[in-house]
Structure 1
């Protein structure tokens, strides 16, 4: 009888992670600008409040401010990006570059969110803001395709939970739902601003059979998640990382899910997890201790996201690199997260299915074939290498 060599699981390289077709559901437009663009837009607009005017130094300032542990400094970072996004041309440019940057990172489908109400200081109307951002996304898609990268970008319109315009923004999202906008979101500080303050917006969206996600379970915990699901009817949870508080890991390694965690898993409610951002906000002390490891093992509908690429100095590929290092994830795991995200996107079922079957699965199959060509294979009695 001859022995056989067992084919080991592959650890993807950085290049393979970048080229893998990935899906992004939680990315803020005003949190992903290129530092050089911030500097140039500030100069063009006469915006003089930037802490640094050298792009490299400004990039470092954004990261250090976001890492500082100071809420005031963290919020200041967005005052600068939003401050230079007050004209039509600026919005078109930022949206175009966003699509190009994501595509170059291997993202094939993205939902990017922003709050139209924050871009009115230059005299634009809400409609003009939406149309400018949509135009930028379409330009970015075309430019990416010309560069050999395929991407589709949908917009999520965000209402600020501390303000009183959520119904107006929900109506705006419904107005543009067939013209580039795929859903609605609320964001902002959870504590003191429960999603139940915006029930009229959520009831309107449900009557219109429209999609929405809610920032919940990032800082405030389980009550925020419960309200988002049971009072508001959210389709997805923006972050949702604090669902881990309803999961008990016993000393013998067995796991007990509380009723809310069981509900989230049983109903396949997507979690828009953002590892690097969660470390900055204190939801985890390291990548190795991030709840995503357990949530993946328990087969929650977990997805991997960037949140704010500029403030976290990250990309979706880098998020996966951290998880590969922390948990030993393979291309199979990255595909699992990507398919999860595509299943959870706010576009029609047949379009999601086409992306999974025609883009995502073939892309990973090709990457795995590369590894098989170069790596060990199952043989009788001895190991050999192809190529």
Structure 2
């Protein structure tokens, strides 16, 4: 087992590790300074115009323990993302912030239908985000950091535009859009409401990831898998309700848990976000550790960096400090994330090689590179 550094050394080690991020919301990762500038330009009132205080407000407001209350914070972020200029800036800065944290591949998700209030079309929204990502990638590259950021388009599950968003995703599959998703309030808005949209993307051989098992339980995840055809589960932490460890260390799994583990369906777990929405009581007791020990395909993600006041390095560091994870565990879940990106297989192999190559901290275990 690789010795795990402490304190500042751990922070630096985690930032240096090439990381993969599968579940991060573009509208949940704005810089407070940018929000203040853009809000002033359009006359939108924020809770405060002090950058540090605004950052704290988002974390506190999102930490109510309620997913609906958590989602209300997006009123402010969405307000400044209604023009092409605003979208390009937010997208560009997201790439630069991820690159500064050592992320080398990110799948940023957002709901195009939420960015139409000032006259943009759905396609113009996607174009502006793509342009911002390209600008950010070029700037990061010139600074010596190679990063690739792609789009996952979300349809709001409480709305009725999923057919449009599915068609939009397919129309841009060769222009940086790699997946389809539904997001928003999970309870009361099951994937079956959007079965037609999921059928369209499935018939087009296009991947879907579904928010499930965050605010609702096993039935929600079952629909995500069997109705929506999801190949990844966004969050999925409530799957732990179907997983039980015996006193002798053996595992007893329910039918759904067996299905997920047998088929190696990856879980996009977001620890800090789950604490804020009440899906977990603490990092130490977070189901991610149990699920990983039980053999599930676990990945670690940020969800909303602004609302959680977090980064991917910070999420991994919390698991090391509070849940007993080792550096080997961190590298392993990072490789798992690389293996489950929505890239093609040869691109995933190259990404795994980048993680398991020389940049891995000295002495860290090197998982099998190209496991099927």
TM-score of the aligned structures, taking structure 1 as reference length = 0.91
Q: Distance in 1 between matches of 2:66 and 2:262?
A: 37
Deviation at 1:354, TM superposition (A): 0.9
Deviations 1:119-145 (A, max 9, x none): 000100000000000000111111111
Match of 1:213 among 203, 209, 212: 209
Deviation at 1:57, TM superposition (A): 1.0
**Tell me, what secondary structure is at the counterpart of 1:189?**
coil
Match of 2:131 among 128, 135, 157: 135
Q: Distance in 2 between matches of 1:356 and 1:202?
A: 29
Answer with 1 or 2: which has the greater Rg.
1
Name stretches of at least 5 consecutive residues in structure 2 with no aligned partner.
366-372
Deviation at 1:284, TM superposition (A): 1.2
How many matched pairs? Answer: 361
**After the TM superposition, which of the residue ranges 346-355 and 328-337 deviates more from structure 2?**
328-337
The aligned residue for residue 368 of structure 1 is 362
1:201 paired with 2:197, answer yes
Match of 1:321 among 307, 317, 321: 317
Deviation at 1:330, TM superposition (A): 2.6
Q: Distance in 2 between matches of 1:55 and 1:212?
A: 36
Tell me the C-alpha RMSD between the 2 structures: 1.5
Match of 2:13 among 13, 16, 26: 16
Pair 1:187–1:370, CA change in 2 (3 A): closer
**Tell me, what secondary structure is at the counterpart of 2:307?**
coil
Matches within 5 A, 1:34-113: 34-47=31-44, 49-69=45-65, 73-113=69-109
Deviation at 1:60, TM superposition (A): 0.9
1:28 paired with 2:22, answer no
Deviation at 1:328, TM superposition (A): 2.9
Deviation at 1:363, TM superposition (A): 4.3
Q: Distance in 2 between matches of 1:157 and 1:94?
A: 16
Extract structure 1 runs of 4+ deviating beyond 4 A: 70-73
Deviation at 1:253, TM superposition (A): 3.8
Q: Distance in 2 between matches of 1:80 and 1:360?
A: 36
Deviation at 1:370, TM superposition (A): 9.5
Name stretches of at least 5 consecutive residues in structure 1 with no aligned partner.
1-7, 372-387
Matches within 5 A, 1:292-307: 292-307=288-303
Pair 1:42–1:266, CA change in 2 (3 A): same
Q: Distance in 2 between matches of 1:153 and 1:283?
A: 28
